[in-house]
Amino acid sequence: MISDRQKSILFAVIEEYVKTAQPISSQMVCELFDFDVSPATMRAEIARLEEDGYLQQPHTSAGRVPTDKGYRLFVDALLVHKERENKKARAAMRHVADLDQEAYAAFADLARAIATLAGSTVFSGALRSSAFFKAGVHDTLSQPELEDFSLRKRFGDVVDSIEEDLPAFTDALAREGPVVFIGKENPLSKARDFSMLVSRCRISGGDGVVVILGPKRMNYRKSIDALDALCDFFD
């Protein structure tokens, strides 16, 4: 059973890794965050998080990176508390809500606004549409994870086929609020190296969907806040 302190340390590691894309050491955690514990205690807590499957050590690096299990615990905490700290997300959604909602072209503005806020690729469109609006692809491709050619190819495959793959998210779209798929949880086998956030919305009385796609090292907090704000304004 993970303790409250271990959970706080894990979340600190994830937040810092999201910012830097570099493995995080116990020394860095001690220097950057005030946990009021000795370096030896911090090393022991980090080691326990690794033993329990929340962190892993890439190659011979002295630092750790989150596992899918670690990301899952972090995302579940965000969803439970529904923290809405990103005021820019609210302002952007208000701007989009003021657009002409009689036209589904508003989905294009939604995709661009959320992509700007989340720093990930966003798809947006009507559920029965044959074409989705896409935004933020270039930003995602600039992430260090996407320097790997095979990963870039799999990312491109997901982007190119999102419309035909939408039925895979039927269960997620039946639920309220954003649903987060991390790595192997993804219903799309070709997207299991990434994370996807899926949320249903309504525009002009019609059912729509917004999907955020990015590396597992995405800023879940900003992405969830953006989708949460979207649901507030378009329900």
Whether 85 shows a pLDDT value over 60: the answer reads: no
Buried b (16+ CB within 10 A) or exposed e, 169-208: beebbeeeebbbbbbeebbbeebbbbbbbbbbbebeeeeb
The SS3 assignment for 56 reads strand
CATH hierarchy code of domain 84-234: 3.30.450.40
Q: Which amino acid belongs to residue 7? A: K
- The residue ranges of DSSP E strands in the chain, in sequence order, are 55-56, 65-66, 121-126, 133-135, 179-182, 194-203, 206-215
Q: Which amino acid belongs to residue 47? A: A
What sign has the CA pseudo-torsion 53, 59, 60, 65?
negative
CATH hierarchy code of domain 4-66: 1.10.10.10
Q: How many Cα neighbours within 13 Å face the side chain of 87? A: 0
- Asked whether the domain spanning 84-234 has the same topology as the one spanning 4-66, the reply is no
What share of the chain has pLDDT > 90, as a percent?
57
Q: Of 202, 108, 193, which is closest to residue 158 (Cα–Cα)?
A: 193
Model confidence band, residue 104 (pLDDT cutoffs 50, 70, 90): low
pLDDT digits (tens, 9 = 90+) for 138-160: 999 999 999 999 999 999 999 99
- Sequence ranges of the domains in the chain: 4-66, 84-234
Q: Tell me the whole-structure pTM to 2 decimals.
A: 0.82
Q: What is the dihedral of CA 235, 212, 86, 206, to 10 degrees?
A: -10
pLDDT digits (tens, 9 = 90+) for 35-47: 989 999 999 999 9
pLDDT digits (tens, 9 = 90+) for 183-201: 999 999 999 999 999 998 8
What the block records as the tokens of 12 is 């600190």
pLDDT digits (tens, 9 = 90+) for 113-139: 889 888 899 998 888 776 788 999 999
